[in-house]
Structure 1
């Protein structure tokens, strides 16, 4: 996954797929720091047939990638979607056309303009305002300058090549080779050769669905066996009181936040101890019925200075529920957490990031504020701690809210992750 992909704070959900009056259409729901809205995109017949072959999608949430890739071996673009069912997630690949890619690029350009003015906690604003885009017009100008730079770049490169040709043909060949490799490595989508698209759906890529349990089983409290190092000097931790009128999904540059979903579990105490040993804190989003099975872990996290929030009662897809059901779901989780910890619950993170105006309204009615993320580690699908550590090295952590889960691999990778972030001189924050 490229760094540019993880920078996106936009989540795109496939709502419906079909044929309209003027051709094929796809209805998508967009969630970002400014809220939730629905858009209709045109589809060509080729991409429609590839997506439709993976359906139907009626009874599950489907998250689309905003970053298709070019496959030079099959001579096609391809993209991914994640089907989120009640007990597991499944990643599927599909071929797509250049027109579909252009639709997504336009969508990303619009979202960049909309998100130009970032949501910043009030007490952090003075250090961040200098980095903000002052208006949509300014953002458009900056993107125009970027286009000019990209167009001027090849001219400068051509002039440089001409000079080097006179000096050393070998050095020119090496320079061009390195340049091409870097361009291929860092580009979001490689340029497509003029070629027709083949019809197959890439079935060989979809043979091994990824599964992940959503709710840990009720197990007795297990204290960590490994002895921890003597507690290091705690870093100054800032508490960010987030805006109740927006979805918080990012931080100013220079700040970072760790957040853990789906607990409490048998790993909660070990995660908390690692955080404390390294002098940092994090935000934990607890599932209500898990807290009933692991009350000591929930209390332990709070006692050690961690921030805790509501992640629903049962990790169900709230956008598929009625408002009456969601009201009861959120209230039941908050009441359980408050009874266990003795403190009111003011943070809410929707399972799967699935939220719309109705879900948001029920959270607000219960005095909770929505906390999202902009760096999804996907630790639940990693096979080894080294893969998770590598993820942190592959993205820009400044301004990030990292989404993690209470998993064994996460516990094993956490000490090195924290030391890496501390070496970047980032200020850790928790949310209130």
Structure 2
């Protein structure tokens, strides 16, 4: 599961300290804290252009950014809500903002944030309006507070020392990658374990019946099995893909295999559409039979790394391990070369590109993200899909019950627009 699951960044105001501007945010996951986020002026101006802190609306920053191929620019996403109504806006953001966002996503506890130099604790001051400069030279009036840079928490030196010692004692210093000792298992041993699990499940996995929206009916799997050579597909021409040609749409499912994999597969089969699954190696080791079933039924499988690590934060050798270990696991189940790769969090660097090219991979990103991992609400997921230009999109979804419940209506909506729903290869 992604470290970003459950994290929410609420944007409260834009702050000023002398000539320095920052974002006042409320970060919530295991706990909540109000923080000041000092980032680049251009990104703050772009955020100010799509927000107005009038005490009526609430704003939430997405934890994801996407690469806009046309503008050659990273784009952030902000959601504005008022009661039950919400609107989503994109804003151009810098590479530094994107990297800072990734650092926040990877924090496991609030206490981890004291290591991030761009964050400081917020202390309230008397309210006063501030003016954020815009590109046109006019002032965008935003309601905020003057800020003072403070440490996140004033903790005694003794307590910090004890915590530091306890943390140090929990790590294995013989492994410079920072990957827990269990993950040092060789690829050969992992593959042998997976083969053994498959051998113990020779009866294979039986497809579960798919129910309609109106009523539940008993169906045998063969009633809607779709031969593998008839599953609609689209061949990707580019090494890195954020979108596909107009008239097509790709439904992609991250972080499996899981208990939801077969339900998703059955729904795709029922409607005669394609789907692409990006599997994490640690989950492949747990559910090799699901991988086998999805491949046998003609759906596309890609790599989502071995441990769902942020690739751009790893060394060359660590990235190589993340790619090769999961590839060996999946290839020993499917007996086909693994081609597709999606970097976790959409984060990659030059080393990731070089390794992917060397292994003959195609990197698949996305241009539509309903943030289903955050809402866990089937109606909100469907509402997002119904209000986008879906033609030519790669839609990012995750394996969850909410996605299973929303998927039939998502497919029906896309088919009503005469779009061809394809698997990628």
Under TM normalisation by the shorter chain, which class is it? 0.5 to 0.7
Give the aligned partner of residue 364 of structure 2. 371
CA drift of 1:349 comes to 0.4
The equivalent residue for 1:249 is 242
| 2:156 alignment partner in structure 1 | none
Q: How far apart in 1 are the matches of 2:346 and 2:45?
A: 14
Contact 2:249 2:393 in 1 (8 A): yes
Task: Give the 3 Å change call, closer, same or farther, for CA 275–194 of structure 1 in structure 2.
Answer: closer
Asked if residue 339 in structure 1 is aligned to residue 348 in structure 2, the reply is no
Structure of greater relative contact order (alpha carbons < 8 Å, 6+ residues apart): 1
Contact 2:226 2:272 in 1 (8 A): yes
Greater alpha carbon shift after TM alignment, 63-72 vs 283-292 = 63-72
User: Alpha-carbon deviations, 1:137-175, whole Å to 9, x = none?
Assistant: xxxxxxxxxxxxxxxxxxxxxxxxxxxxxxxxxxxxxxx
1:382 shift after superposition:
1.5
Distance 1:330 1:277 in 2: 33
* Cross-structure match for 2:106: 85
1:65, 1:356 → 2: CA distance?
27
Change (3 A) 1:351 1:374: same
Q: For the Cα contact (< 8 Å) 2:370–2:381, is it kept in 1? A: yes
1:320 to 313, 317, 328: 313
Corresponding position of 1:71: 52
Tell whether 2:281 aligns with 1:306.
no
1:239 aligned onto 2:185: no
Q: Which residue of 1 aligns with 2:421?
A: 428
8 Å CA contact 1:47–1:96 kept in 2: the answer is no
The alpha-carbon deviation at position 80 of structure 1 amounts to: 2.7
CA distance in 2 between counterparts of 1:338 and 1:232 reads: 23
User: In structure 1, the residue corresponding to 2:348 is in which secondary structure?
Assistant: coil
Which 5+ residue runs of structure 2 have no aligned equivalent?
Answer: 1-16, 27-33, 64-103, 113-118, 123-128, 148-196, 212-218
2:305 touches 2:343 (CA, 8 Å); kept in 1? yes
- TM-superposed deviation, 1:50: 7.3
Shift in Å, 1:341: 1.6
What is the TM-score normalised by the length of structure 2? 0.56
Shift of 1:270: 0.9
1:285–1:310 contact (8 Å) kept in structure 2: yes
Helix, strand or coil: the match of 1:70?
A: coil
Task: Output the TM-score relative to the length of structure 1.
Answer: 0.55
5+ long unaligned stretches in structure 1:
1-23, 25-42, 58-62, 104-191, 202-218
Q: Deviations over 1:66-94 (max 9, x none)?
A: 7553225249997736331266999x9x9
What are the superposed Cα offsets for residues 268-290 of structure 1, whole Å, 9 maximum, x if unpaired? Answer: 11100110011111011111111
1:198 corresponds to which residue? 144
Once the two structures are TM-superposed, the CA of residue 424 in structure 1 deviates from its matched residue by 0.5
Conservation of the 8 A alpha-carbon contact between 2:241 and 2:365? yes
Q: Pick one of 247, 261, 265 that aligns with 1:268.
A: 261
In 1, are the aligned partners of 2:225 and 2:270 still within 8 Å (CA)? yes
Tell me the distance in 1 between the aligned counterparts of 2:297 and 2:45: 37
